[in-house]
Every structure is written in C-alpha cells, then in structure tokens.
Chain A
C-alpha cells in the first residue's frame, strides 16, 4: 500500500482524546473545562445532534420496509441483528461487512463508528457498582484485586450523575447504591402487582429501572439544549429532545462551549507514537478512512476512549523497542480477561386480568430486580450474581398473526389493546479469565491495512451454573405473582458480545506485572497514556457499566490535569 505520509507540524494539542462515545465525550468535557486544548479523533463519520437524526420523526408508513430490516441490510449488519434490528436505527450501527473481524469462537462485536458512538444507541440503564463489586476478586482469589474501592468513586459517581440526569427511585439498598435521581418512571399495574408479590413472598426488592433520561431537567441540562423525555421510546433513532444522555446531547456541547475542543472525523488511529527514551507518548498516527491520507498529531497527554476493543487494539498496534508486544504490555495481559454480561435468558408469562389497566406513553425503561444471589446469607455453588430487567406491556396488533381468525370482527379486535405479557431478562456477571481474549492477526488486514481483530472467548462453568438460577428464579418470581403460562427460557444463541458490554482487556491493577493500567487508568510504564473506557475493568459486576466508565473517566481526567500542572507528565 502506498501511503502518503504527511506529518503535520504544528498540529500539537495539550491532549488528544481518541473516540467520541460515552467516555470520549466525558474526557473531552473534563479536559477542556479544566483549561486544556483538546483534539478529539473520531474514526467514523460525523453525526450532528438533532439535524442528522434523519429518522427521528418518521411515521411507520414512511419507512421503505415499514421498520423491518431487509435481507441485504441484515447481511451487512450481521453482528447487530440480535438487537436493534430496525430500519429506523440501522444507520446508527456499523456495517460489519465493511469492518470485518474474525470469530475463532462466536462473538458479536456491535459497533457504532460515528460521532457519539454507542452513546447514541445504548440501553441507558445507569447503576452504581456496590462495595462488594470492588472487593470480590480479592476475597475469592479471582483474577487480580482492583486498585480502587467503591469509596474512591463515590464523589465521581455523584459528579457525573448530576450532569447526566438519571431517572430512578432511591431504595437505600447496599446491593444497588442510590444515585442522584430525577423522578423515576411509573410502573404499570401488573408490574406493581409483581413488585408487591415478590416483596411479600420472596423478600426481594423490585425497583423501577434507573435510566439516563431527564424527567425533571435542571438548569445545567436546559442550558445545553436538553429537554424532558417525551416517552416516544424511539431513542435509537437519536433523540431530537436531547432527553437521554449521549455525547452529542451533553458532553460534546459542554466541551465545545469552552472553545478549546477540535474534533476531527474519519480519523482511524493506527498507533500511538512513542518516545522510548522518555517512556512517554508523543502523539498518534491516524489514517483518514476516506482518503487514506496518513497524518500525525502530537500532545502531552493521550486519552484512549475508542471502546474496549478499539482502545486495546491501538495499544497492541503501538510497538517499539521498549514495548515489542504492544504499548504497556509488560504483563502480557493486553487483550486478555475479555468480559461481557451474559444474557438472552430469563422467564416470561401471560397475565390474566388487568383488562382495564393500560398506560399512556411509551416508556424507554423497564423494571429492575437487583442481585439477590450470593448476597447476604445467600450462598450458591457458583460465584457472583445477576440482575433482571424487564416489564409488563399489552400486546398490539402484531399478536394477530399467531391468533386464529380473520375478517371484520378480527380487524376490529386488533384496534384494542391486547392481553398483558411480562418478561424478565437476566444480566449475569462474567468472571475474568486470561484465556478469554482477543488478538490482532497481522496476516488478515482490513482495507486500511489494519490487522483484523480475532475473538477467542466464551462463557465458562461459573456463568453456565448461574444461568440455571437466572431461569428458575425468574420463573419463581412470575409464579409468585400468579401469572400464567410461565416459561423459563435460555436462548442457545447466547455468547460473548451480545451484552455490548465488552470490557477488561487492559485491566487496572496495583502491580505492573499483572495489569496494564494503574489506579488512575494510566498505562503503568507510560504515564501520559490514559485508557478510561471498558478496557480497564478488573471485574465486570452484573450491573450495566456505563456510569462506572464515566466516573472513572472524570476521575482520570482530574488526575491528568493535576499531574500536568505538577509537570509530572
């Protein structure tokens, strides 16, 4: 390949942030607000907030295939087909055919290569980790110990929660610490019945899902142009009201207000340029995804926020005499301990009665049932635990295909809300395992000459043992509520990647011999490189990870600026 290398002298910034998604947005906001001149590099195309949400206000009849995915689109987006297979949000997901990867063992690598990244398509469930989550590895001799504890993150959780805006209900549970909440979303009548039945008969709490939607916007939200949730539940098309938290709606506007942010799109970071003598990074080398032009940018500090697989790949690709196996890979842990949450499992039921109960609005959230296994006095024959998301809703016209009948009466019946149904979907913790990994194959290159990612990871015995409980406990709760036709299910398609919570491939730790990052998300042996997305996770908990990534990012940015001021970087 003939590359036209053009080193841009003068393209020097205080900090470079790689990626514009959930954590890249936070890194840019914090670093610019603390006075740094920041360059943000996004490998994908530009999506402008509101004006580029091209499907946001479309009605069902305006879609070419009425919302269904065509065969051609399904082939192009094979990794995303299990979820989000909708015509309205297809443009938000990366074309897998154009961005191939290798599955030595099955892995769905779900990507969103554009401004805002996966923060535009996330599930928005937002939970703090609990104290035990940070202690479990050390207590049980699994993997390595976290270099931080819950208490280290408390002020940072608070800080990001206020800015994000989280709808939820305070419950004072040790297993699921409360965040700063805006009013929680309502439950439907059968959900309230389930909550009461499960509390009485099984002594398990059920709360409303904690989601990053504004329900009572504060002045600092409205100042950025954000408004209350309109309960359309069309979030994955992009929210023109800026009601759910995303980089585009919140952190990027905040960063832009400082006039210290520069964003460059279509810039695929190939590697970090190292100054081996100084054991520091000098900058990054990028290739333009459209023109193939190669450029270099320089900075005092670099934040990798390209998503777990992306950031770790950049470290792997950044080789030098000092780091022959990839930047910061003295421990050989780079790419190892790949975790996700295991799902596609739970229980569902039909609900008799509640015919006069309905709901106005489409709720972009669900119930949440916090972990109860291996908690308190509960002891199981596996480690860790799981939670559930789910809820009850009334069937719509689509129930008609499987019902017997047709004609005028049938047609009229379809205009009425159908029977209630309920589903509880489990989210289980995955343990770190050094043999669950990904690596780069230098013999298989993509069209930009980058080595392809090879996934070699699967669930282990602990996860499989837990899945039996996820099914049984889900069914037991639905039965406790007296619901009918309870079915516990375990979808055989379940494998790594489907949780879209890939993490752990450049783990944080105390010892450089066994970890890649230190307690401030700095590469142990290259302190001006910070990695603050899912890469650094030492364990996975069973709650959705985004809030913890955000807190870690804000904390790392604070540390980076302090170290810069102290001239330690």
Chain B
C-alpha cells in the first residue's frame, strides 16, 4: 500500500474524506521532510484558507491583549516550518486531518464564540495520553513559537540570559518567569 493509499484508507476508517489539497500536502510534506535540503526549502503546505484557519486558531490560543498575540509573533508561518522539519509523519498527518476537519466545519465563517466553543470541544475530545493529536501539536507549537519569539519573550517574561549568580529568592506577586527553561 502506498502512503497515499494508507492515508486515504485511514481517512475512510475515520469516516472522513480528505480534500485533495490535504492529501497533496501530506505527500509533499513527506517528500520534503525526507530531503536533506529540507531546511533550505520554503513553500507553504497549507492552502491559503487552511493557513488562515490556523492563524485564527493560534490567535484564539494566544490572543493579542495588552501584549502581542500569536499572529504578531509569526506563529502560523513558523508552525509549518516546525511541522515539516521537526515532526514525524504520524504527527504531520494528525495535524493535517485536524485542519481538514476545521475547514469542513466552515471554521472561518463561525462567530468568535462558536470558534472558541469548537476549540473547547476539540480540546475535550483530544487524547490525554500525550499521543500526537491535532490539538496537542497545535497548542505545543503555538506556545513554542510564541514563547521563544522575541516579541513573546520580551512581552511575557523577565528574560535573564546572563543572570551572573544563583540564589533562592522569595517572589513578589506578579513576578514574571525568568525563562530559564530552554537554556541549553
């Protein structure tokens, strides 16, 4: 069975039929992620509509408030790069299936309230065992790209790249994280 057949087969088992662009994206993604020059390639995998859907989802997860939001920090574009270069096929496919599902729901035409409710439902239905699901991957990547972006870091944390000392301290209310988590 070719991968394309397999994907279609899985889709059929799940009771859905993928749109042609989704199937195409799955195949192109695989080709590119297996190419040693992948990191030097560009090119979106999602259609314009799908890209817009993911931008909306990212912005619902980390909206613009008094600080920049996910779209301000370039989450949607970077999400595709990360998925292509750092995620394995099962995760890529799970992600694309999720986007496909949102597209079928006409996600962009829903009211903000309905969009939030849709995501709440997807969150509730997502497996809790850490297996790669559309929701986990989307949230993981939205957080990663936002909280490691220059805009996100400077707006969210008391970033200390060169602390100079180590000491146990008491914190005051509202103390922001010093962001040591991704030092290495």
Contact = CB atoms under 8 A, between A and B. Distances in A.
A69 B86 contact: yes
Interface residues of A, number: 60
Interface in A178-192: 185-189, 192
B82 interface: yes
A68 B86 contact: yes
Given A71-B88, A230-B163, A65 B63 contact: no
Interface string B134-175: 001001100111011110010011001111111111110001
Contacts of B38: 70-72
Given A360-B178, A401-B136, A407-B60, A234 B171 contact: no
Contacts of A84: 184
A559 interface: no
A67 B147 CA distance: 12
B181 A359 contact: no
B170 A358 contact: yes
B31 interface: no
A70 B85 CA distance: 5
Interface of A: 57, 59-61, 63-72, 84, 86, 88-89, 185-189, 192, 230-237, 356-363, 394-398, 400-402, 404, 406-408, 410-412, 414-418
B170 A67 contact: no
5 residue pairs, one from A and one from B, having the closest CB atoms: A361-B166, A396-B181, A361-B163, A60-B148, A362-B180
A459 B147 CA distance: 41
A235 B67 CA distance: 32
A186 B166 contact: yes
A230 B160 CA distance: 11
Contacts of B140: 401
A61 B149 contact: yes
Nearest to A398: B181
Indicate the member of A363, A400, A418 with the most B CB atoms within 10 Å: A400
Contacts of B63: 407-408, 411
Contacts of B178: 358, 360, 417
A61 B156 CA distance: 14
Given A232-B162, A398-B143, A407-B60, A65 B175 contact: no
A67 B19 CA distance: 33
Contacts of B136: 401-402
Contact of A417 (B36, B148, B165, B171): B171
Given A61-B148, A185-B166, A230-B164, A415 B86 contact: no
A60 B39 contact: no
A72 B184 contact: no
A234 B62 CA distance: 28
Nearest to A418: B177
A415 B178 CA distance: 9
A402 B139 CA distance: 9
A360 B160 CA distance: 9
A385 B175 CA distance: 42
Given A358-B171, A360-B166, A61 B181 contact: no
Given A397-B147, A407-B61, A361 B164 contact: yes
